[in-house]
Chains A and B, each alone.
Chain A
Amino acid sequence: MDLETGQISEDELDDELVGQKIGGVGITTWLYEAHKDSDPIVLGAGLLTGTLFPASALGVISAKSPRTGGLTHSPFTLKAGMELKYTGFDYVVIMGKSEKPVFLWLHDGVADIQDASEFWGADVWSTTDSIRKSMGDDLIQTLVIGPAGELGSDLAQICVNYWASGDCWGFGKVFGQKNLKSVALRGMGLLEIADPEDFVDQCFNVLETIKHGAFAGKNGVEDILTAMGEKDVKEWIAPFVHRHSACYNTPYPTNTFIYLDENPKTLTEPSEQEPGFLINDIGALLALKKAGLSAESAGRVLKACAKYGIDPTAVAEVTAKSGQKDLEQIEKSFADLKGPVSDPKAKKFSSWTPGRPLFSDFGLSDDSAYGDWWVRRQAVAYLFGIHPIFANMAPEISEELLIEMFNKGTGLTLSQETLDKAIADVCL
Chain B
Amino acid sequence: MNFYDSYASINQKLARGANLHYGEDEASILPCDSRPLRIPRIGVYAGSGTSHSWLWFVELFDRMLFHDLVFLTEDMVREGALLDLDVFVISGGDTIGIAEGLGGEGAGQLESFIKGGGLYLGSCAGAYLPLKSSKLHLDRFNFVDIKIANLSKTLPEIKRLPSKASTVYGCDFVYHPVREAVRLRLTGRKPFMSKQSFLAPLYGGPSMVTGRASDVLACYEGFTEKTLFLVDETLAEKTLLGKVAAARTDMGDGSLYLFGPHFEHPHFTVANHLVATAIFWDMKRERINRKSSDGEIIIEGAAKKKLILDIKREISNARIVSVGLEAAPVKWTIGCKTYEPEKIRVFLEAIWKRINRLERSGGVSLHKGADEQLAALAIHVRQILREMKSRIDDRLDTQDLAEDLFDSLRRLTMLFLQIYFDSSGCSRPTGSHILKKTFSFSE
**Which of A's residues lie within 8 Å of B, judged by CB?**
13, 15, 18, 47-48, 50-51, 85-90, 107-110, 112, 133-140, 186-194, 409-412
CA distance in complex: A135, B385 (Å): 10
In the complex, the answer to whether B390 meets A15 with C-beta atoms within 8 Å is no
B386 within 8 Å of A by Cβ?
yes
Q: Given A136-B385, A136-B390, are A191 and B320 also a contact pair (CB < 8 Å)?
A: no
In the complex, the answer to whether A108 meets B319 with C-beta atoms within 8 Å is yes
B1 within 8 Å of A by Cβ?
no
Q: Could you pull out 12 A-B pairs where Cβ atoms are within 8 angstroms? A: A18-B437, A108-B320, A109-B441, A133-B393, A136-B320, A136-B385, A137-B389, A139-B324, A140-B320, A191-B442, A192-B435, A410-B437
In the complex, the answer to whether A137 meets B321 with C-beta atoms within 8 Å is yes
Q: Given A88-B441, A108-B319, A192-B435, are A134 and B386 also a contact pair (CB < 8 Å)?
A: yes
Minimal beta-carbon separation of A231 from chain B (angstroms): 42
In the complex, the answer to whether A191 meets B389 with C-beta atoms within 8 Å is no
B52 within 8 Å of A by Cβ?
no
Interface locus among B157-165, B210-218, B310-318 = B310-318
Q: Given A133-B390, A136-B320, are A189 and B438 also a contact pair (CB < 8 Å)?
A: no
Q: Given A188-B320, A190-B442, are A136 and B437 also a contact pair (CB < 8 Å)?
A: no
In the complex, the answer to whether B319 meets A136 with C-beta atoms within 8 Å is no
Residues in B neighbouring A194, C-beta threshold 8 A: 437
Given pairs A87-B441, A108-B316, A136-B317, 16 additional interface contacts (CB within 8 A): A18-B437, A18-B438, A88-B441, A90-B441, A109-B443, A112-B313, A133-B393, A134-B386, A135-B320, A136-B324, A137-B320, A188-B323, A191-B439, A192-B438, A192-B440, A192-B442
CA distance in complex: A194, B438 (Å): 8
Q: Given A108-B316, A110-B316, are A191 and B440 also a contact pair (CB < 8 Å)?
A: yes
B291 within 8 Å of A by Cβ?
no
Residues in B neighbouring A88, C-beta threshold 8 A: 441
In the complex, the answer to whether B440 meets A90 with C-beta atoms within 8 Å is yes
CA distance in complex: A2, B442 (Å): 25
Residues in B neighbouring A134, C-beta threshold 8 A: 386
Contact of B386 among A48, A85, A135, A193 (CB under 8 A): A135
CA distance in complex: A137, B440 (Å): 24
Most-contacted residue by chain B among A18, A51, A191, A192 (CB, 10 A)? A192
B290 within 8 Å of A by Cβ?
no
Residues in B neighbouring A13, C-beta threshold 8 A: 438, 440
Closest to B318 in A: A136
In the complex, the answer to whether A109 meets B312 with C-beta atoms within 8 Å is yes
What 7 pairs between A and B have smallest CB-CB spacing?
A: A88-B441, A136-B321, A108-B316, A136-B386, A136-B389, A189-B441, A411-B437
B309 within 8 Å of A by Cβ?
yes
Closest to B323 in A: A188
Minimal beta-carbon separation of A13 from chain B (angstroms): 6
CA distance in complex: A15, B436 (Å): 9
CA distance in complex: A187, B316 (Å): 8
Contact of A410 among B317, B319, B321, B439 (CB under 8 A): B439
Q: How large is the interface on B (under 10, 10 to 19, 20 to 34, 35 or more residues)?
A: 20 to 34
Interface residues of chain B: helix, strand, loop or mixed (majority): helix
In the complex, the answer to whether A193 meets B320 with C-beta atoms within 8 Å is no
CA distance in complex: A143, B52 (Å): 38
Residues in A neighbouring B324, C-beta threshold 8 A: 136-139
Residues in A neighbouring B443, C-beta threshold 8 A: 109, 189-190
Minimal beta-carbon separation of B219 from chain A (angstroms): 40
CA distance in complex: A135, B317 (Å): 8
In the complex, the answer to whether B438 meets A410 with C-beta atoms within 8 Å is yes
Most-contacted residue by chain B among A86, A89, A112 (CB, 10 A)? A112
Residues in B neighbouring A140, C-beta threshold 8 A: 320
Contact of A192 among B309, B389, B436 (CB under 8 A): B436
Closest to A411 in B: B437
In the complex, the answer to whether B385 meets A107 with C-beta atoms within 8 Å is no
In the complex, the answer to whether A412 meets B317 with C-beta atoms within 8 Å is no
In the complex, the answer to whether A109 meets B316 with C-beta atoms within 8 Å is yes
Residues in A neighbouring B321, C-beta threshold 8 A: 135-137
Residues in A neighbouring B317, C-beta threshold 8 A: 107, 135-136
CA distance in complex: A139, B393 (Å): 14
Residues in A neighbouring B439, C-beta threshold 8 A: 47-48, 50-51, 85, 90, 191-193, 409-410
Residues in A neighbouring B309, C-beta threshold 8 A: 110
Minimal beta-carbon separation of A384 from chain B (angstroms): 11
Most-contacted residue by chain B among A133, A136, A192 (CB, 10 A)? A136
CA distance in complex: A107, B323 (Å): 14
Closest to A199 in B: B439
In the complex, the answer to whether B313 meets A412 with C-beta atoms within 8 Å is no
CA distance in complex: A410, B266 (Å): 31
In the complex, the answer to whether A15 meets B320 with C-beta atoms within 8 Å is no
Residues in A neighbouring B390, C-beta threshold 8 A: 133, 136
CA distance in complex: A90, B438 (Å): 10
Closest to B441 in A: A88
Residues in A neighbouring B437, C-beta threshold 8 A: 15, 18, 194, 410-412
Residues B174-225 near A (CB distance < 8 A): none
Residues in A neighbouring B436, C-beta threshold 8 A: 192
Minimal beta-carbon separation of B207 from chain A (angstroms): 39
Residues in B neighbouring A409, C-beta threshold 8 A: 439
CA distance in complex: A190, B442 (Å): 5
Cβ contacts B385-416/A at 8 Å (1 or 0 each): 11001100100000000000000000000000
Closest to B393 in A: A133
Residues in A neighbouring B389, C-beta threshold 8 A: 136-137
CA distance in complex: A283, B208 (Å): 73
Residues in B neighbouring A193, C-beta threshold 8 A: 439
In the complex, the answer to whether A15 meets B438 with C-beta atoms within 8 Å is yes
Residues B311-354 near A (CB distance < 8 A): 312-313, 316-317, 319-321, 323-324
Closest to A186 in B: B320
Contact of B441 among A136, A190, A412 (CB under 8 A): A190
Closest to B382 in A: A136
Minimal beta-carbon separation of A31 from chain B (angstroms): 15
CA distance in complex: A138, B436 (Å): 32
Contact of B316 among A15, A107, A138 (CB under 8 A): A107
CA distance in complex: A51, B441 (Å): 12
Most-contacted residue by chain B among A85, A108, A190 (CB, 10 A)? A108
Residues in B neighbouring A89, C-beta threshold 8 A: 441
In the complex, the answer to whether A110 meets B312 with C-beta atoms within 8 Å is yes
CA distance in complex: A136, B442 (Å): 24
Contact of A110 among B313, B323, B385, B435 (CB under 8 A): B313
CA distance in complex: A186, B324 (Å): 12
Minimal beta-carbon separation of B311 from chain A (angstroms): 10
Closest to A134 in B: B386
Residues in B neighbouring A139, C-beta threshold 8 A: 323-324
Closest to B386 in A: A136
Minimal beta-carbon separation of B122 from chain A (angstroms): 35
Residues in A neighbouring B313, C-beta threshold 8 A: 110, 112
Minimal beta-carbon separation of B436 from chain A (angstroms): 5
Minimal beta-carbon separation of A381 from chain B (angstroms): 17
Cβ contacts B352-391/A at 8 Å (1 or 0 each): 0000000000000000000000000000000001100110
Closest to A107 in B: B316
Minimal beta-carbon separation of A421 from chain B (angstroms): 19
Residues in A neighbouring B386, C-beta threshold 8 A: 134-136
CA distance in complex: A191, B443 (Å): 9
Minimal beta-carbon separation of B56 from chain A (angstroms): 22
CA distance in complex: A328, B264 (Å): 67
Residues in A neighbouring B312, C-beta threshold 8 A: 108-110
Residues in B neighbouring A86, C-beta threshold 8 A: 441
Residues in A neighbouring B393, C-beta threshold 8 A: 133
In the complex, the answer to whether A189 meets B442 with C-beta atoms within 8 Å is yes
Residues in B neighbouring A412, C-beta threshold 8 A: 437-438
